[in-house]
Structure 1
């Protein structure tokens, strides 16, 4: 009789470990964002404000168009009537994008996978800006479609060959993306959903209007360089003004005002980056 030989031990196949790259971080953050139902509800709400308010505002002005001079109503202003409410939703989403991980403790796992930390901050920002740009474009198109039935009665139109009309329409997603990035920066600094949302909304809807209405010229001049007041110049019609609530700056041109807003965004993100490197998760 021959002795039974023990079967050779089988070695499990080794799984190749992929290095952490910025592209993979962006993909991971996109999975996190799109996996939440609340994200889709927020985006749907942000987009829905455009056609809803565009239809309401356009129908309202069509009733008084006979008493108004020709060209009194600028079509893109009414197409983008939902901008302010959409801004509320997207800024809240931007804050929660970063603060939710601190609330649940998931940020520790994220930073353990990417110990350099800063690429995580930029990956989240890239996903946020991309999503906001798409939402803004879809909202503008939806608002245009919803307002179109009243264009003839209101005596207005949207003409993409006019630089101002094109700026007003394309400025909406750019403005929304910049304000969302600013809110994201505040959230990364404060690490609290309630504090971040309150700071953003308080700055845009309380502090800026209050400064603009105080009859002191130096304060009003300073108010024109606050984020929303400066950035909203991009979506301001020379004839009708802007649909964005808050103070309006007449001292800045459209692109100069948007550049000031981007400066605020850069400052908030620099502070967030420094604190992310120095503070514990």
Structure 2
């Protein structure tokens, strides 16, 4: 089962519902062999009866079995409200060769996170964004909500330009109750603007998990071809440049590493949990970091 933690293996399953279930089941199977052994991935559907609770909410079957009084948990009493923000801008469509695109990786990971959160009885919502908010699915904690989230992900197409900051500021102002915001993006945008948006979430009391997803070639520009055409995926005019990659490789790597260092430093200063992934990184890396963040929230 743990083989489905490999992105390429999971992606070949096709349907996101299969990906979500098998990735999470593989993750749980592997937990006992990992440093995260002992982490709970289940939460009770009940809580102890308290004076003032309506008797109609009492679970009589539980009372008969345990001789203890419990009431059923309702959706508004859910453990956590989580919001998955998925970047659907044009740059997310990139993939080198036959690799999966960044958007496909983000979709599979978002599907797995949704499945895991709902399994924990947490409420999860979905936000798609480009240069602003594209769609918003409010969080719910019922298991049937998974199909709603996956339909939205499946229908999405990465296109057009990125401007992350307006989407972050807009959502930060919309969310009234504190929760967990998980962002899945390549973060190929102005770092200062992005970090300003992340700080806005923190200022509003939200926990933030930033998952930066890149293709391996975007980090090293290690293309073996001679003349290579680079196309701006977010420019509707189809702007491009043809060059020999090794002529610009060193300067490119320096700028890319500077950008990543800026995000690492800025997120640490803001109290944002930052994780750098590429499309070959096993899904368990992000799922484990989510569990760590979730445990801190109680």
- TM-score interval w.r.t. the shorter chain? under 0.3
Q: Which of the pair has the greater relative contact order for Cα pairs under 8 Å at 6+ separation? A: 1
TM-score of the two chains, using structure 1 as the length reference: 0.27
Quick check: which one's helix share is greater?
1
Quick check: which one's strand share is greater?
2
